[in-house]
Amino acid sequence: MDYYSSKITALIEEFSRLPGIGAKSAQRLAFHVINMPEERVKGLAQALVEARSGVRYCKECFTLTDEELCPICASGKRDHGIIMVVENTRDLAAYEKTGRYEGVYHVLHGAISPALGIGPADIRLKELMMRLQGEVKEVIIATNSSLEGETTAMYLSKLIKPTGIRVTRIASGVPVGGDLEYIDEVTLLRALEGRTEL
């Protein structure tokens, strides 16, 4: 039995489709939006539509941006000879919060997972190998400490080492099974500074 009108129910259902949003949270969000001033609701709706239509991949590192190059790749102050490989844009943001990494990134948009049918061709490895033809001196592999992240790290190491480029892996300050986006800046910084050769 429906407790709400069809429009309220539809709004709750849309919120509940978002990751991490259960039925109660969806209901709270729906009623919050309904009680917001109309101008703020229009602003929220416009921001959603513009983000979806205007955000694309950086042509160099493949993070999300609304320009051709993201601010990191476009910066002349960053060391373009050091590339940190991460699984997703959230991981990139986690490292940027440390304020200490001065290189650039490469976002794979996933990790190798034979169990899920995700192979090397399904993530941005080909694009990474193209970037390594430039003046790159080190690749830091900062994939998650999960089975998929470790598999991806080992695959990358075997792929990159024959090129003569230094390959390092972030240190184990990151807990096994932990996702980078949920780890504090101090732990991330220790992991970065304690990286080891692969």
Asked if 82 and 169 touch (Cβ cutoff 8 Å), the reply is no
User: Which pLDDT does position 186 carry in this prediction?
Assistant: 65
User: Which pLDDT does position 88 carry in this prediction?
Assistant: 94
Q: Please report the DSSP string for 12-36 in residue order.
A: HHHHHTSTT--HHHHHHHHHHHHHS
pLDDT interval class at 43 (50, 70, 90): very high
Domains of the chain: 6-54 (1.10.8.420), 64-197 (3.40.1360.10)
User: Which pLDDT does position 176 carry in this prediction?
Assistant: 65
pLDDT at 150 over 90: no
How many whole angstroms separate alpha carbon 11 and alpha carbon 26? Answer: 8
Which of 115, 112, 56 has the alpha carbon at shortest distance from 87? Answer: 112
**Tens-place pLDDT, residues 50-93:** 999 999 999 999 999 999 999 999 999 999 999 999 999 999 99
